[in-house]
């Protein structure tokens, strides 16, 4: 009886070991980003995690670290280069120090709408720009979306360029954005994103430019009285990985991950569009800011003034790249 019991026990252990797979992954991707989980980028990062782990049958695990819990965007690029993390999605401005050509996305009124923008990103020129980060031991995987920028002021409605003359506007660190506001006789002021609300509240700056999702989530509309839907500029991200890490992956896993990137990118773009639309309605409903949408005539006036800065950046960005972007609108 004791022998029979022992045999049954050993058989059970054997069957259990066969039935329960090992969950030790062959590869781990640490994905660091700086935004909240419920943003388009945050949701897309989690979508990417689910797709990769499912489609690789657990051979690749993805650990997502949101809210700058590991690194800021600028620190994340350094961590990527050292392979301390394997994926990040910083804004374009964090790359322009070593890929100045990416300033093309800062040029005002270069893209007419999302379709035009995506057509450029998916074009040979867009892919060329994506590959330029390779010089820093990085591999560009995709462009992720935040949205088009709008402009706001505390004390003046914004309809024509003359309305912003002499006004101080907060900008990200960018030569293009500096030139953009100087072209309409405004005064650009570089400030960290974390300081924008207090700067607007205290009158350090008069206005700002940002996407609807940034304006709403950071409550800029509560300290600004006038918001103009200008869609004059764009704010986006680049999804990147470590080149050496990528080269060590088997080709079948590379193919699978690229498929997951493509699907996560479509998901992220959809979420970005939905979020900006829904949050614009929330800003309207708040009643705290007067909203104006540029007419065709007003938009043309802004375009005429701001597009005059393009030749200043022909040498840095490339005149042919800028012309290619313009041509894709046709």
Contact 94, 152 (CB under 8 A): no
CB 212 within 8 A of CB 280: yes
Kindly give the confidence (pLDDT) of every residue in the chain, 330 residues in length, as a single tens digit, with 9 standing for 90 and above: 444 444 444 444 444 444 334 457 899 999 999 887 888 899 999 999 999 999 999 999 999 999 889 998 889 999 999 999 999 999 898 898 899 999 999 999 999 999 999 999 999 999 999 999 998 999 999 999 989 999 999 999 999 999 999 999 999 888 999 999 999 999 999 988 879 999 999 999 999 999 998 899 889 999 999 999 999 999 999 999 999 999 999 999 999 999 999 999 999 999 999 989 999 999 999 999 999 999 999 999 999 999 999 999 999 999 999 999 999 987
Rounded CA Rg of the chain: 24
Q: How far apart are CA 45 and CA 83, in angstroms?
A: 19
| Gap between the Cα atoms of 225 and 230, Å rounded | 16
Q: Report d(CA 324, CA 69) in Å as an integer.
A: 39
Angstrom distance (rounded) from CA 318 to CA 260: 32
Q: Look at residue 155 and give its three-state secondary structure.
A: coil
CB count, 10 Å around CB of 221?
A: 22
Indicate the burial class of 80 (C-beta count within 10 angstroms; 0-12, 13-18, 19 or more): buried
Angstrom distance (rounded) from CA 250 to CA 28: 14
Q: What CATH fold (topology level) applies to the domain 24-327? A: D-Maltodextrin-Binding Protein; domain 2 (3.40.190)
Closest CA to 145 of 214, 67, 219: 214
CA gap 247, 216 in Å, rounded: 40
Residue 12's pLDDT is: 44
CA–CA dist 30, 141 (Å, integer): 15
How far is residue 53 CA from its own chain's centroid?
23
What integer pLDDT is reported at residue 93 of this predicted model? Answer: 83
């Amino acid at each position: 009886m004791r022998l029979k019991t022992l045999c049954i026990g050993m058989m059970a252990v054997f069957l259990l070991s066969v039935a329960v797979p090992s969950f030790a992954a062959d590869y781990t991707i640490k994905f660091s980003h700086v935004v909240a989980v419920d943003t388009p980028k945050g949701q897309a990062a989690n979508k990417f995690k689910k797709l990769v782990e499912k489609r690789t049958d657990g051979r690749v695990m993805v650990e997502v670290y949101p809210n700058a819990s590991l690194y800021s965007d600028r620190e994340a690029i350094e961590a990527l280069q050292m392979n301390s993390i394997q994926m990040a999605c910083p804004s374009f401005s964090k790359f322009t120090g070593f890929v100045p050509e990416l300033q093309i996305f800062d040029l005002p009124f270069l893209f007419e709408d999302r379709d035009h923008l995506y057509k450029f990103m998916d074009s040979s020129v867009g892919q060329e720009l994506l590959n330029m980060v390779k010089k820093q031991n990085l591999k560009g995987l995709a462009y992720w979306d935040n949205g088009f920028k709008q402009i706001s002021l505390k004390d003046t409605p914004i309809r024509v360029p003359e309305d912003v003359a002499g006004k101080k506007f907060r900008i990200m660190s960018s030569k293009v954005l500096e030139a953009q506001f100087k072209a309409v006789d405004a005064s650009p002021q570089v400030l960290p994103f974390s300081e924008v609300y207090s700067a607007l509240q205290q009158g350090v700056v008069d206005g700002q430019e940002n996407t609807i999702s940034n304006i709403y989530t950071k409550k800029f509309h509560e300290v600004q009285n006038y918001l103009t839907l200008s869609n004059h500029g764009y704010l986006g991200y680049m999804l990147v990985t470590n080149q050496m890490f990528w080269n060590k992956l088997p080709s079948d896993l590379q193919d699978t991950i690229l498929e997951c990137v493509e699907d996560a990118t479509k998901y992220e773009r959809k979420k970005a569009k939905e979020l900006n639309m829904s949050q614009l309605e929330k800003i309207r409903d708040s009643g705290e800011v007067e909203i104006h949408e540029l007419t065709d005539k007003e938009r043309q006036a802004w375009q005429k003034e701001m597009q005059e800065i393009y030749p200043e950046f022909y040498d840095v960005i490339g005149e042919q790249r800028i012309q290619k972007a313009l041509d894709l609108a046709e």
